[in-house]
Amino acid sequence: MKRRSPLLWIVALALYLFMYAPIVVVIVYSFNDAKHGGPWRGFTTAWYRRLLDSPEKIVAARNTLILAVASTAVATVLGTMLGYGLSRYRFPGKKLFSWLMYIPIVIPDIVMAVAMLSFFATLNRLVGLFELGMVTMILAHITFQIPFVAIVVRSRLAGMDPAIEEAAHDLGASGWQTFWHVTFPLMAPGVLAGAMLAFTLSLDDFVVSFFTTGPGATTLPILIYSSVKRGITPDINALSALIILASIIGTIGATLLQRSRQSTGG
């Protein structure tokens, strides 16, 4: 077995430190007893207890979860249908449509946010609907989440042997039976990965949310941004640490679920 170069280990360690050191610092300083950050003043969990006594942060956390769950659910369904259609069907303009799908991904967030704001403002002026708030935020998030889900699902389908589906048809399965009992179980890891990606993008999105939000629809990224402008406080670090913990738990849970499906042949 070929031994790895010590230089490779050093470079790998440096990269891991570069990526995860800021996260560790945020978590550590969430237990800092100093009221306004800065030097270490001692260990305390008071900032986590303070979060429970802050109604605005609880409401922002609730809004963030509602936004992420609702937009991810819709985007996963629509993105899966889009990815499946682009992978399994032929229709006029398919190549052009495939290229257009990448536009929400490659354009800057600020352009996407301004476009969505202008779109909703125009509709509100013409038909009196889509007042800025939670609904417009959910629709905006769905818009930029769909391409990510579709790309992941399409990539998963590209690695599947079409002969498996053809064999199901030869054995008498209908189109729906083939999809539900053969195709979907095989593409499920891609659907799950796309949903996780969409959920993560929604959780940490600030620009699009900021431009499409309205009264009573403040999310955690918007709340953190407005708080940071007044100076970083330990309760913001505590809030960030809880978000990191939730992300880690979600990732581990999705990974265990995927392994469980693979081990049971589901």
User: Looking at residue 73, what is its pLDDT?
Assistant: 95
Query: Of the candidates 44, 43, 61, which has an alpha carbon nearest to the alpha carbon of residue 52?
Result: 61
User: Looking at residue 196, what is its pLDDT?
Assistant: 86
The burial class, CB within 10 Å (0-12 / 13-18 / 19+), for 140 is buried
How many CB atoms are closer than 10 A to CB 52?
A: 9
CA–CA gap between residue 210 and residue 102 (Å, rounded): 23
Which CATH topology does 55-231 take?
MetI-like fold (1.10.3720)
- 175-189 confidence digits (pLDDT tens): 788 888 888 888 888
Residue 219: left (phi > 0), alpha (psi -120 to 50), or beta?
A: beta
3-state secondary structure of 133: coil
Intra-chain end-to-end CA distance of the chain, in Å: 35
- 47-90 confidence digits (pLDDT tens): 888 887 778 888 888 899 899 999 999 999 999 999 988 888 88
Q: State yes or no: pLDDT of 154 exceeds 80.
A: yes
Location of structure tokens 């399965």? 173
Beta bridge partners of 35: 37
Tokens representing 17 are 């430190």
User: Looking at residue 221, what is its pLDDT?
Assistant: 86
Among residues of the chain, what percentage have pLDDT more than 90?
A: 20
CA–CA gap between residue 57 and residue 231 (Å, rounded): 16
Q: State yes or no: pLDDT of 202 exceeds 80.
A: yes
> pTM for the whole thing?
0.81
Q: At what angle do helices 134-158 and 184-204 cross, to 10 degrees?
A: 140
Tokens representing 167 are 């064999």
Cβ pair 84, 190 in contact under 8 A? no
Q: What is the mean pLDDT of residues 242-264?
A: 70
Q: What is the mean pLDDT of residues 11-24?
A: 88
User: Looking at residue 248, what is its pLDDT?
Assistant: 79
Q: State yes or no: pLDDT of 247 exceeds 90.
A: no
- 79-105 confidence digits (pLDDT tens): 999 998 888 888 888 888 888 888 888
Q: State yes or no: pLDDT of 169 exceeds 80.
A: no
User: Looking at residue 259, what is its pLDDT?
Assistant: 67
Tokens representing 68 are 């992420």
Tokens representing 200 are 């993560």
Domain residue spans in the chain?
Answer: 55-231
* Greater pLDDT, 187 or 37: 187
Cβ pair 185, 117 in contact under 8 A? no
- 117-148 confidence digits (pLDDT tens): 999 999 888 888 888 889 999 999 999 999 99
CA–CA gap between residue 169 and residue 150 (Å, rounded): 25
Longest dimension (CA), the chain: 72
Tokens representing 76 are 């996963």
Location of structure tokens 């077995």? 1
Side chain identity, residue 64 = T
The burial class, CB within 10 Å (0-12 / 13-18 / 19+), for 173 is middle
